[in-house]
């Protein structure tokens, strides 16, 4: 209704009359808040009550501008102006709404995502209105987050660069969803440019390593066998070494997706949003088949008792703590199994496309992070 008002434009017989009208308008606007003269016979009315959609219009008729200003104030005082979510939504509100409405639908492990969102809601930046968020807010939050510490491997260490990057990416996704699905307007666009915000933090990434030798691998399997879970952890680790599957793929592995005769198992596709496939195929070699047969082939149900990726990480962490004397044990994580398997596939002389098909990477370029070949490994390929 307010946007459809018809603007009046006064007419004058002489230029002198128009100048007199403009001088009168100047006198009326002296000390008048909300309306200002921006040019000859141009009067801008700006009314911005907090939590409501602002009104911003240029009038040619000073009397009409004053009338509209009085009308807006009366509507505000009588409660006729409805609050607009766009101007009342805080970052905390969006994070909580995303946690309640979206996470359960899209996340395979919603409790982990919800925990991250709850943590983000505890910072002062969460109190900022969404439409006022700027990159400077996230720069300041980044510095606060970096100054914090967490207990890792029994030692207090600064929050890692990767953790901060992942949290920024999560907030960015929330804002994108709010803009697309909830009609939350971000006047300056999404303020989060992850790469630009993170470039001021030096890289503290610990290089992932493949398991150095068969001797260390044997000791790892022996230690996992003694973990006390009926050899489930040992079987999981050995299958990871044989297939190169991610920890989440191993945790979600079900018997109904294993086809022994075809020597194929299908695991949850990490990139299903990109290619539309819920499952991807993983070839089963002799070692992988032997592990599955040792476990005992079944018709359905989970293959392992570890059905949450974090439980695998915790179990391997406990194994490492029980054997502090074994060299390189402290560097072995569930993802080390994947690095080891892919490195071995490359040592066999498989092409990048073949390795990609087995590992499930989106591009062959991503395999560069998994290359742990030494000069001794490629002697036989030298001319």
Please, which contacts does 223-228 make with residues 24 or more away whose CB atoms are closer than 8 Å?
223/319, 223/322, 223/323, 223/326, 223/329, 224/316, 224/319, 227/315, 227/318, 227/319
Q: Give yes or no for a contact between 29 and 36, defined as CB atoms under 8 angstroms apart.
A: yes
Q: Is residue 258 part of a domain?
A: yes
Any idea what the CATH number is for the domain that residue 145 is in?
1.10.150.130
229 and 369, same domain (yes or no): yes
Domain hosting residue 340, numbered range: 214-381
52 and 16, same domain (yes or no): yes
222 and 273, same domain (yes or no): yes
Q: pLDDT tens string for the chain (383 positions)? A: 555 678 888 888 898 999 999 899 988 888 778 898 888 889 998 887 766 677 888 999 998 988 888 888 888 777 776 666 566 789 999 999 999 999 988 877 788 889 999 999 999 999 998 888 999 999 999 999 989 887 665 667 888 888 999 999 999 999 999 988 887 888 788 999 999 998 888 776 656 667 767 888 888 888 888 888 878 899 999 999 999 898 889 998 999 999 999 999 998 876 544 444 678 889 999 999 999 999 998 989 999 999 888 899 899 888 888 887 776 777 788 888 888 888 888 887 788 888 888 888 877 777 767 665 554 554 554 44
167 and 283, same domain (yes or no): no
Q: Is residue 113 part of a domain?
A: yes
Q: Is residue 203 part of a domain?
A: no
Pairing outcome for strands 149-152 and 279-283: unpaired
Nearest one of 233, 208, 205 to 221, comparing CA atoms:
233
Residues 151, 154, 156: CA angle, nearest 5 degrees:
40
Phi, psi of 46 (to 5 degrees): -125, 120
377 and 229, same domain (yes or no): yes
Please, which contacts does 25-28 make with residues 24 or more away whose CB atoms are closer than 8 Å?
25/62, 28/62, 28/66
Predicted TM-score (pTM) above 0.75: no
Question: DSSP labels for 326-372?
Answer: STTGGG--HHHHHHHHHHHHHHTT--HHHHHHHHT-SSGGGGGGG--
290 and 370, same domain (yes or no): yes
232 and 323, same domain (yes or no): yes
| Helix (H), strand (E) at residue 263 | none
Q: Is residue 206 part of a domain?
A: no
186 and 68, same domain (yes or no): no
Sequence-distant (6+) residues with CB within 8 A of 120 are 95, 126, 167, 170, 171
103 and 169, same domain (yes or no): yes
Cα atoms found within 13 Å of the Cα of residue 253, Cβ hemisphere only:
27
Q: Which two tokens stand for residue 306?
A: 């570890």
């Amino acid at each position: 209704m307010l946007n459809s008002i018809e603007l009046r434009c006064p007419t004058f017989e002489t230029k002198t009359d128009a100048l007199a009208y403009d001088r009168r308008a100047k006198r009326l606007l002296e000390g008048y808040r909300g309306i200002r003269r921006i040019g000859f016979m141009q009067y801008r009315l700006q009314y911005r009550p907090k939590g409501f959609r602002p009104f911003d219009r240029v009038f040619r008729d000073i009397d009409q501008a004053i009338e509209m200003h009085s009308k807006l104030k009366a509507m505000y005082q009588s409660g006729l102006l409805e609050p607009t979510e766009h101007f009342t939504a805080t970052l905390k509100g969006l994070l909580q709404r995303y946690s309640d409405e979206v996470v359960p639908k899209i996340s395979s492990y919603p409790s982990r995502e919800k925990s991250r969102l709850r943590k983000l809601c505890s910072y002062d930046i969460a109190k900022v209105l969404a439409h006022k968020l700027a990159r400077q807010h996230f720069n300041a939050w980044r510095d606060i987050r970096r100054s914090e510490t967490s207990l890792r491997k029994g030692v207090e260490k600064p929050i890692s660069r990767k953790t901060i990057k992942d949290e920024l990416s999560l907030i960015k996704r929330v804002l994108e969803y709010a803009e697309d699905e909830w009609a939350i307007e971000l006047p300056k666009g999404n303020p989060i440019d992850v790469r630009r915000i993170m470039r001021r933090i030096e890289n503290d990434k610990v290089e992932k390593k493949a398991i150095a030798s068969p001797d260390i691998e044997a000791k790892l399997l022996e230690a996992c066998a003694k973990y006390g879970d009926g050899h489930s952890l040992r079987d999981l680790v050995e299958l990871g070494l044989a297939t190169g599957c991610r920890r989440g793929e191993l945790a979600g592995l079900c018997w109904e997706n294993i086809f022994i005769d075809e020597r194929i198992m299908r695991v949850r596709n990490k990139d299903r949003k990109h290619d539309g496939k819920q499952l991807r195929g993983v070839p089963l070699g002799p070692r992988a088949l032997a592990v599955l047969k040792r476990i005992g082939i079944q018709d359905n149900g989970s293959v392992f008792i570890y059905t949450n990726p974090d439980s695998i990480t915790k179990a391997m962490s406990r194994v490492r703590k029980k054997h502090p004397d074994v060299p390189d044990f402290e560097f072995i994580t569930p993802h080390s199994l994947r690095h080891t398997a892919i490195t071995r596939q490359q040592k066999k002389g498989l092409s990048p496309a073949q390795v990609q098909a087995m590992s499930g990477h989106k591009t062959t370029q991503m395999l560069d992070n998994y290359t742990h070949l030494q000069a001794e490994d490629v002697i036989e390929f030298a001319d």
